[in-house]
Copies of this chain bind each other. A is one copy, B any other.
Amino acid sequence: MSRGRTSPPPPEAPGPGIAYASPLFRQIERQMLAALSRGEWKPGSAIPAERHLAERFGSSIGTVRRAIDELVAGNILIRQQGRGTFVASHTRERLLYHFFHIVGESGAKSYPEVEFLSFAKARADRIAAEKLHVAVGDPVFRVRNRLQLLGAPIMIDDITIPAVRFAGMTEARFRGRASTIYNLYQQVFGVYVVRTSERLRAILADADSAALLGIASGAPLLQIRRVALSYNEVPVEYRISLVDTAHNEYWAEIGRGA
């Protein structure tokens, strides 16, 4: 906190060699992120009012608002007029509208039913290690799910997560899931997925995938390779999805949120 003096009085000098690191609102943003990371404010609950935060950080309300604006834009906080500002959490709705991009031909979205297939402890291969920023051979967990939409199987997820960030993960956590996977990450392991980066290509179904999806071997499939990132661009999950796009499609908006 070392910037932005007011005007009328010639106040105490900004200090000799102050460095002028970054704007005040960014410093406040970082402090708020730190508070979130250490669990001072919990997912789903309200953070202090803007007036109180301004007092705490010794700034004007406008500056605190600017910091909150950034965190809201980053899907980390949610404002609700008249009620307060809340820590975002991965509810079903949020997941559906932010990270699940498969829609019906008509454009209609619906909740996927997740069917657990397998869980295993393994070691990171070259690709997973690169995507997750861990060393080749580091312990990881592998999970396989099948997703259905309106009763029809349409998607297979192969998920890889680093053991170092999910210490104590068990098969039971994935089997008896009440909420979404990203909600599990957040609630149990404090890992909050902020954004994802995906690469898509068209491939032909192999015998294994075809059997799981109930389609012919050699049918076209959409392959999605996703890296999920947490605060500060830290990768926390690598996921390969295979989607039968015969009656569903992948949906992307470019240049502005929907």
Contacts and interface: CB of A to CB of B under 8 A. Distances in A.
B254 A200 contact: no
A256 B204 CA distance: 31
Nearest to A198: B252
Interface of A: 73-75, 98-99, 101, 103, 194-204, 220-223, 243, 245, 248-256, 258
A253 B199 contact: no
Nearest to A103: B199
Contacts of A251: 197-200
Contact of A202 (B103, B198, B199, B245): B245
Interface centre among A195, A245, A249, A254 (most CB of B within 10 A): A254
Nearest to A244: B202
Given A75-B256, A195-B254, 17 more contacts: A73-B256, A74-B256, A75-B255, A99-B255, A101-B252, A196-B255, A197-B251, A197-B253, A197-B254, A197-B258, A198-B251, A198-B254, A200-B245, A201-B249, A201-B250, A202-B221, A222-B222
Interface of chain A, helix or strand or loop or mixed? strand
A194 B243 CA distance: 29
Contacts of A249: 199-201
A250 B197 contact: no
A25 B99 CA distance: 31
**For the complex of A and B, 10 pairs with smallest distance between CB atoms:** A195-B255, A201-B245, A202-B202, A202-B220, A200-B250, A202-B222, A199-B249, A195-B256, A198-B252, A196-B254
Contacts of A200: 200, 222, 245, 249-252
A189 B86 CA distance: 45
A11 B204 CA distance: 71
Contacts of A204: 220
Nearest to A196: B254
A195 B99 CA distance: 19
Contacts of A220: 202-204, 220-221
A197 B254 CA distance: 6
A245 B75 CA distance: 31
A99 B250 contact: no
A113 B220 CA distance: 27
A255 B194 contact: yes
